Structure 1
């Protein structure tokens, strides 16, 4: 019985199968095609320089935002509480408009094109807005007026501590006749990712694309390369939100639920994708005023904060097919971190808890291993006696197992149970923004990234070697199987070099606890 060799092969196959699943799991939109004239602005500036006279600058406790004066579109957003990279002085630049990459948030009104609106310079004199220390709300108004008496004020309403803000339209119909308008919001992004941004982990891609929620789907996602011509994702209904998603961060339009709206997707060019919503047509009688409103989220995937505006936006924290394990795992990890104030120590603590909970199952494996080790002399004797009769050899070994109440399958049960936990923690680390740039000790300053000096993978290889170093003598393995056993720790060390250091830390502690648990069981059987 070569349980160690088979165990490592099983782990490898499980991980490889997981990688294949990740690469081939794609979602597609299914909907009928329609056209709608939604304005999408393309910004082209020499050397990526923005001229201040054309824009409004907004600064809050969470944002630094740039708004185009001509149409009120957001063309740049910095998240002030997040850095681009470890040790960088630059804040995270999420929305941006560059020569080689665009990611902007547009919004506006449809049905007013014939009125020839112009920007009201007298009303919009202020170019800089800042949320002061003694303020909890900041309003940024912009006014457009037409010559026939129709006007509207577009106001951005920011709140302290929030990663969402309102976009409100106050429409004044002084034209003397009834008009019909609809409101839209869309997100536009380049299909090709930005050169300096890496969306891969463990050599595989993490999700970057579109997600939405409506009456039919509580959470649906689609890759950029699945979007082609303009199409509506849903009919006029109770649409909750539509978003552009990437690791740790998301931008999403949340339409006003009191007004019916359609969600749409569009490949506006060979370079860019646009997604968003369009409300139903709304009538405004002569001399009547009407207010339309929607919400825009631009920020990190933090469940608690997302629940303030939507009951499903937090699904963009995409824990994959093991979400039912990853979600409670993160909640427990987050709870532990409140005490330890160190995510690395919290991972060590949660590893101990998992091993403690799973000990009854693990004990089955260790007992089976101990029993097998205790009958090695008898197995060696059978092998010598029946070395020329393979069929009889197998039957005699099976009879010996039955006599000693040994079930070989029992050795694999803990592995089958533990692998989902391992992958669940992987999802937690690559999707929970709380662990992004989270330091542990000394050289480990980002548990979501690989160990820069590969010390943890080497320690993992050492613990793996210690876990199975006595197998050669105890199981009388032949030369080929000895080579397999001896090279497995080296292979796993290389394989783990690019894993997030938090995941490698979990594996090291798990190995150490396994060694201790094995020693306790083996001592009871005197093996």
Structure 2
């Protein structure tokens, strides 16, 4: 059910502070080394935010706009005070003033103070604290209560956006998640896409916690104080926008005293180390799916190799060598079995010619041959079956890793997160698969043999649309497999020659 379209959560109290409508908005700009924020003084909200250390497009120097309030796309962060003495009321926002219109970080920390006051002597400062190299902003409300009565209120923060696909969308076969993610008492990582919110709103009370808007590679999140009991919610508004946020516990500031309410707002890349440091389980928004227990060690290994080599493409090759090393013995068993089948393929062909019309008799004779020669025809499937979970986990790991976005390899591969623009890698992969197939014994079933002959072509076609990083892995995986297979075959041939 769609909720009423208001810029603040429902409150009962009437305004006790000067308020303005959004139509009289004035803006200030704040710039650090990694962020450029445009803050609306009507409410003190971040309505536009550019990531200066991330480019929108690899061929242009324009920074990536993560938050924006424009006709073509609405994605904003809002925060305020509600409750009995809160600044924000239904349909109205407090009007803040700032000492300047442009702020720039000059050092490690930049505090941007917006101020307002009420008629009865309460001064409120909304402070944005920016840190060098950080995409996290601490939003604080400093309450100076010089009135004759106590002040009561609660802080809220939410993210509002439309349901359109982000400017940064998928390129290739995967469809990344777009929607809300949070943590609660039942699940460390709980997500709802926009279709879920079309049908039902979300409510949960939890101590600490966080709530976020997740898209491919990037995230925005509100992280309230870990000690407070907070109400988290997500809903679809009647206007068609989606809103997800939190409301803190009520805070009381006695007359003549000062108080503070604060939360952290993060808007930036889905960097696991950074997210893990901000809040418990926030790093799970880097969603590797049900094979996360394989994908996480793969990412750690990939990051380790990148730290040594300094190139994500060569790090993928190093990871491929590591994985092939781990699967060396299962692969060796498989290749020895295939070598044996290849050796006896003339006898298998002879059986097919003798019993071609009697499939049951043919199967019996072939099984008899396998038993006599101690050949396991299923052993050839072993490395493929063992590697499939690793391949799927690697696919999601590479697809989810913002580190690979705009990461160059060499020559024409300037971005490992998108498809090869000239399809060179998938074609090379198809050629290697074809050559490797020539080393394998011909399947006894003619239909199966035809299917196997088509596999390099089918794989080449599908991998044309996969990220170049994933194709690079499969190319070198196939190449190393072929080399290992050749070495084993040559060794067995030499052993047979010595016996003769």
Pairwise same-fold verdict (TM > 0.5) = yes
Task: Tell me the residue number matched to 2:102.
Answer: 128
Task: Tell me the residue number matched to 1:218.
Answer: 188
Match of 1:503 among 464, 470, 482: 470
**Quick check: 2:170–2:216 contact (8 Å CA) kept in 1?**
no
**Quick check: 1:239–1:263 contact (8 Å CA) kept in 2?**
no
Task: Tell me the residue number matched to 1:424.
Answer: 393
Q: Within 5 Å, which residues of 2 pair with 1:369-518?
A: 369-469=338-438, 474-475=441-442, 480-481=447-448, 483-518=450-485
**Quick check: 1:117–1:145 contact (8 Å CA) kept in 2?**
no
Match of 1:313 among 282, 290, 310: 282
**Quick check: 1:163–1:297 contact (8 Å CA) kept in 2?**
yes
Q: Secondary structure at the match of 1:253?
A: strand
Change (3 A) 1:504 1:54: same
Q: Secondary structure at the match of 1:334?
A: helix
- The CA deviation at 1:234 is 1.0
The two structures, once aligned, show a CA RMSD in angstroms of 2.6
Q: Within 5 Å, which residues of 2 pair with 1:19-418?
A: 39=8, 54-111=26-83, 112=86, 119=95, 121=97, 124-132=98-106, 135-194=107-166, 197=167, 199-228=169-198, 231-235=201-205, 237-418=206-387
Change (3 A) 1:392 1:449: same
**Quick check: 1:234–1:263 contact (8 Å CA) kept in 2?**
yes
**Quick check: 1:119–1:145 contact (8 Å CA) kept in 2?**
no
Structure 2 gap segments, 5+ residues each: 10-21
- The CA deviation at 1:200 is 2.9
Of residues 200-209 and 427-436 in structure 1, the stretch that sits farther from structure 2 once superposed is 200-209
Q: Secondary structure at the match of 1:418?
A: helix
Per-residue CA deviation, residues 336-363 of structure 1 (Å, 9 max, x unaligned), is 1112111111111111111111110101
Change (3 A) 1:160 1:374: same
**Quick check: 2:348–2:444 contact (8 Å CA) kept in 1?**
no
Q: Secondary structure at the match of 1:420?
A: helix
CA distance in 1, matches of 2:308, 2:94: 57
Per-residue CA deviation, residues 353-394 of structure 1 (Å, 9 max, x unaligned), is 111111101011101101111212222232233233222211
- The CA deviation at 1:477 is 6.0
Of residues 220-229 and 496-505 in structure 1, the stretch that sits farther from structure 2 once superposed is 220-229
**Quick check: 1:380–1:476 contact (8 Å CA) kept in 2?**
no
Q: Secondary structure at the match of 2:204?
A: coil
CA distance in 2, matches of 1:52, 1:34: 25
Q: Secondary structure at the match of 1:205?
A: coil
- The CA deviation at 1:53 is 8.0
**Quick check: 2:217–2:402 contact (8 Å CA) kept in 1?**
yes
Task: Tell me the residue number matched to 1:8.
Answer: none
Q: Secondary structure at the match of 1:85?
A: coil
Change (3 A) 1:511 1:376: same
CA distance in 2, matches of 1:398, 1:117: 81
**Length, aligned pairs only:** 478
Change (3 A) 1:230 1:351: closer
TM-score (norm 2): 0.90
Structure 1 gap segments, 5+ residues each: 1-31, 41-49
- The CA deviation at 1:187 is 0.4
Q: Secondary structure at the match of 2:429?
A: helix
- The CA deviation at 1:403 is 1.3
Task: Tell me the residue number matched to 2:18.
Answer: none
Change (3 A) 1:292 1:476: closer
Q: Secondary structure at the match of 1:323?
A: helix
